[in-house]
Amino acid sequence: MKRRDFIKKASAGTIVAGAALASGCSKASDSTAAAPAVASGKKITWKMVTTWPMNFPGLGTGANHLAEKIGEMSGGRMTVKVYGAGELVPAFEVFDTVTTGTAEMGHGATYYWKGKDPALQYFAALPFGMTATEMNAWLLHGGGLELWAEAYERFGLVPMAAGNTGVQMAGWFNKEINSVADLKGLKMRIPGLGGEALERAGGTPVNIPGGEIYTSMSQGIIDATEWVGPYNDLAFGLHKVAKHYYYPGWHEPGPTLECMVNQKAYNALPDDLKAIVKAAASSANEYMLAEYNARNKDALAQLKNDHSITPQPLPTEVLENLRGYAAEIIDEMANSSPLATRIHKSYSDFYEGAVQWSNISERAYLNTRPG
């Protein structure tokens, strides 16, 4: 299959629903590591830094869930203290903080680290790419996790899938979007490959942490923002600073959130605690997607009924143009390194098969479901 074929086949308005599969951790070898430095009965305390505001619904509480599960399953032998963005380090310094071992764990999304290696973005979300269910299937049963571990090994990190929001919204805008021309000059908070596609369409992507979005919108620093979906958007009060709410989340159809672990710290754990960290990440991955599916429906009803917000579909012309730009960018990224080429082939081959199945399963079913 040609490199950009999978993205050109994507349907702009398609949402493939489904529950997440459990996540695991990398298969990075421990064979070169020293024997565990901690005895099985010794109490261990780790720090987890996150890119989210502390206790923020879904994202921040998902990190909390991960930490709590480690404590519960270890019977208190291992505890993890969670730090929200800005408490210990700024949101976008999480990667370096875990790499250096200043904190043993981090919670975020790989597209924040594209400056380290553009190919890392495959492990979060590609515009018009795979859904949450499909991403989990690729990571666990399609070789994705092994490639992710290989990509992170040179940074001294062990990756684990530890959350997913499901299909997101396209975002909030301070003006109507009726054509591609309306994107020109638009300053929008949108990270990763979606931001690059917007830039090629004439907009200006701005990458700021979630905690700065409301102020930036209210002060006119940005004209539009994507965040997540009704659950999180309502929590931030974004309906107070913009009235035009668009779907679908073409840029993040099923973003995998990560738990990154310092490799030396991980290798120093006894085997049972390593297994507990993996199991806790798996629990967090499943728990978060279920929470978003449950909470988004309630928040959407509240936005509609209490705040008179009516979500609108992005025009087909706009989605088609963004899809074309995204295909160009992904093609370039696939050629950025030999590892990127291998990751892309694995992703796109899996995507092709996933589309064939979803077309006659979930998509076909959703098209017949009343409502």
Would the CATH topology of 23-165+254-297 be identical to that of 171-246+314-363?
yes
Name the percent of the chain lying above pLDDT 90. 87
Q: Do 123 and 148 meet the contact criterion of CB atoms below 8 Å apart?
A: yes
23-165+254-297 to CATH, choices 1.10.3470.10, 3.40.50.2300, 3.40.190.170, 3.90.1150.10: 3.40.190.170
Q: Is the pTM of this model over 0.85?
A: yes
pLDDT in tens, 293-348: 999 999 999 999 999 999 999 999 999 999 999 999 999 999 999 999 999 999 99
Domain extents for the chain?
23-165+254-297, 171-246+314-363
pLDDT in tens, 208-242: 999 999 999 999 999 999 999 999 999 999 999 99
Residues ≥6 apart with Cβ < 8 Å to 280: 66, 67, 69, 70, 73
Q: Is the pLDDT of residue 35 over 90?
A: no
Q: Which CATH superfamily is domain 171-246+314-363 in?
A: Periplasmic binding protein-like II (3.40.190.10)
Q: Give mean pLDDT, residues 80-100.
A: 97
pLDDT in tens, 107-131: 999 999 999 999 999 999 999 999 9
Q: What is the pLDDT of residue 41?
A: 61
